[in-house]
Amino acid sequence: MLFFPELATLKDSLAFHARTRGDHVAVMTPTHSLTYAQLAHNAELVAHQLRQLGVGEGDRVAFIAKERASYWETTFACALIGAVIVPINWKLTQEEVAHILKDSGAGVILIDGDHQLFNTTGITEINTLPQAWQAWLSAAELKESDTQSLLTAGFEPTPDTPVCQLYTSGTTGLPKGVVLAHRSWFAVRNALGEAGVEWISFEENDVCFVGIPGFHVGGMWYAMQVFNAGQTVYSVEEFNPVSAREIFKQAAVTSAILVPAMMASIAELSPADPDAFAHMRQVIYGGAPIGDSVLANCVRVFGARFAQIYGLTETGNTAVCLPPEEHYPDSPRLKAAGRPYPGFAVRIVDEDNTVLPAYEVGEVLLYTPARMVEYWNLPEATSETLVDEADAGWIRTGDAGFVDDEGFLFIQDRIKDMILVGGENVFPAEVEKVLLRECGIADCAVIGVPDDRSGEAVLALIVPDPSKPRPTTRDLLLAVRGKIAAFKIPSRWEFIEQIPRNPSGKILRRALREKYWVGRDRKVN
């Protein structure tokens, strides 16, 4: 297992690997690759250009583009000058992106040609499409001598220095900026390395496929683990199961991170191609629950070690892992999220914050040294989620679950209302707001229901307005299309007479969900 305990920041990591293994491939894409020396050089050029634009310590740099090498070059460039990268989900609508840009205060946005549609007045735009990007780097190279010291001098981050701000939706419907520091990308690696535990491991000449986009914490976190181990990140602009399987074969991929829906789509491809998985050693999966039969088929087809990870953006990604040794047929632990990494911890608490014994269901709290710094400019929301600071800082997950007598965590339900669709977070309040605004209906409720492929599907329960013509499903779809991201749009619709609410007017969402989950031993799929 590759473990470099002396590395504590992304600047340390990039400088170390550029110096000790400069010729090793750091980033591979379907069209080209970069060595560690080239990655470091280009990151310095980007950093120089950002500084010329006035970007300095603590400034936010937005990035909304398909993942090419430019994404990783920009991430490291921000680390070199103390800036904070703000990756934006390119599936979001103009309105959703506008909120993130305004909230983050980004003065520079790196953007590709597919996303130059929304208003970025007052924000400097940098085109990341290959030809324009290379020209931008070449302009910086003319001043190469000005950038030579960035890896070895200049700004010196600490493990607690913010480096990334990822946006996650909330029950209010407005995404919150989760600020993560350098330590978020090193804490799990340190825990496993110091304990000599190989739940998630890296070996020399690993080629690691990053299927989860880098605007999600899972994709960013895993890529940073690969870089910190000095191995190769295989980065794709957009996941496709057919091309992914071909990449596995052609690039001799040894490890991958995927959400369950991605794994299932690859495993179900026909005809089978066992050669595609000849080099596959390990698959990391998470971001959504997975059915037993789907997982069993993936394990059979991939023929590799599997490790499930569980956590939140707020926890710096994974805090709990179901290790490879628990992935065997009929394992009683396959329904578990896993157990905490060495030095991490789980608590189950009741409404009074009293710690509950094994097998009693309550809210899941996670302790992790990778936890967020804060929600950007939201001190009250930060204090609600990051609790017991005097006791080293625990994160409230909003999930309901229990631990068994050996410390394995089982997720049973959600205290929060979030729906997980193929690894994407959907918050009902956000969707309901758009439905009520755009569809001319009397009332609505949005819930998550079981779906074998994506884990959950978004179901909208609609109360028509009796004073207006009754809308069709097509009418509703057309009304919301373009108003929210496609993955948030309900895929199932039902018309009902009334939405059940409590005396204060809150939707009784659990009562609405109940009939769709009958016969299942947990209320997440």
pLDDT tens figures, 439-469? 989 889 999 999 877 889 999 999 998 889 9
State the pLDDT at residue 270.
Answer: 94
Whole-number Å distance between alpha carbons of 181 and 159: 7
Categorize the per-residue pLDDT at 393 as very low, low, confident or very high, splitting at 50, 70 and 90: confident
Query: How far does the chain reach from its first CA to its final CA, in angstroms?
Result: 33
- Show the tokens assigned to 219: 């994709």
**On the CB side of 479, how many CA atoms lie within 13 Å of its CA?**
18
| 425 and 418 Cβ atoms separated by less than 8 Å | yes
Question: What backbone phi and psi angles, to 5 degrees, belong to 345?
Answer: -155, 160
Please classify residue 345 by burial: count the beta carbons closer than 10 Å to its beta carbon, then call 0-12 exposed, 13-18 middle and 19+ buried. Answer: middle
Q: Are 362 and 356 in contact (CB under 8 A)?
A: yes
- The helix or strand, by DSSP H or E, that contains position 241, with its residue range, turns out to be helix 241-250
Strand 374-375 and strand 25-28: the pairing is unpaired
**Domains along the sequence of the chain with CATH:** 10-310 (3.40.50.12780), 419-517 (3.30.300.30)
Please tell me whether the overall predicted TM-score, pTM, comes out greater than 0.75 for this model. yes
Between CA 329 and CA 301 the distance in angstroms is 14
Q: Look over the chain and give the mean of its residue pLDDT values, rounded to a whole number.
A: 91
In the prediction, which pLDDT does 525 show?
Answer: 60
Lateral strand order in the sheet of 33-35: 33-35, 25-28, 232-235, 207-210, 255-258, 282-286, 305-312, 317-322, 339-340
State both tokens at 191.
Answer: 């825990």
Instruction: Check residue 510 and give its pLDDT.
Output: 83
Q: What is the CA radius of gyration of the chain?
A: 23
* Alpha carbons 149 and 343: distance in angstroms, whole number: 36
In this prediction, residue 147 has a pLDDT band, given cuts at 50, 70 and 90, of: very low
Residue 379: burial class (beta carbons within 10 Å; 0-12, 13-18, 19+): exposed
For residues 109 and 104, give the distance between their C-alpha atoms in angstroms, rounded to a whole number.
11
The strand pair at 60-64 and 84-87 is best described as parallel
Alpha-carbon span 382 to 220, nearest angstrom? 22
pLDDT, mean of residues 153-160: 92
Kindly report which listed range (131-145, 445-459, 479-493) carries the lowest average pLDDT score. Answer: 131-145
- Give the amino acid at 7: L
Of the candidate ranges 43-52, 56-65, 289-298, the one whose mean pLDDT is the lowest: 289-298
- Mark residue 397 as left, alpha or beta (left: phi above 0; alpha: psi -120 to 50; beta: remaining): alpha
Q: Which two tokens stand for residue 475?
A: 């009418």
> Which residues does 346 contact at the CB level (< 8 Å), separation at least 6?
319, 320, 339, 340, 364, 365, 366, 367, 403, 407, 409
Q: How many residues does the chain have?
A: 525
- The pLDDT of residue 512 is 92
Of 399, 393, 396, 372, the closest CA to residue 166 belongs to 372
**Cα–Cα distance for residue pair 287/249, rounded to 1 Å:** 25
What residues contact 393, with CB distance under 8 A and at least 6 apart?
Answer: 367, 371, 386, 387
Q: What is the mean pLDDT of residues 82-94?
A: 93
pLDDT of residue 503: 61
pLDDT tens digit string along 180-195? Answer: 999 999 999 999 999 9
